[in-house]
Amino acid sequence: MRMTLALRGMLDTILQQVISDDTKIHLIKTPFTPTEDAVIADFDEADYTGYAAQTILPAGTIAWDDAALNAVQSFASAHFQPTASTVTNTIYGYYVTGTVKAPTLDQLIDVFAFDVPVPLLGTADALDIVYEMKIGMPELV
């Protein structure tokens, strides 16, 4: 289908503009509701002992779903684990940032709220996140 081939090229270009070498996952330590007009300052980033936002890199090639008219890029897993129990957090979700290549600005790319909060209270607790960036098009008529 020619339309699908053209669409693939466009989605690939969009993904390549969004994915950067400094794409990071940041954990959120307070309840929130994701909105389309969210900004980084809306979120209270985790600060448990040993916390640092994790850089994530693409894992494999872009997967195409021609029926749904979207492209999905999976990323390597991000591992979060306290190094002590001095400062603890309950994690309500995460947001993803990166330097969008055109223009080169640090941007909020995505945000996700967990259905059930995850406590990170000490060294025995850990959280692994595998992020997938999905870019799609509305159905063409």
Tell me the per-residue pLDDT of 79-99, one tens digit each, with 9 for 90 and over.
999 999 999 999 999 999 887
User: Which pTM was predicted?
Assistant: 0.81
Instruction: Tell me how far the alpha carbon of residue 97 is from its chain's centroid.
Output: 7
Say how far apart CA 90 and CA 122 lie, in whole Å: 11
Tell me the per-residue pLDDT of 95-115, one tens digit each, with 9 for 90 and over.
998 876 655 556 888 899 999
Top-confidence residue, 73 or 100 = 73
As a whole number of Å, the end-to-end CA separation of the chain is 14
Asked whether 119 and 42 are in contact (CB, 8 A), the reply is: no
Mean pLDDT for the stretch of residues 68-79 = 82
Task: Write down the domain spans for the chain.
Answer: 2-136
How many Cα atoms within 13 Å fall on the side-chain side of residue 97? 15
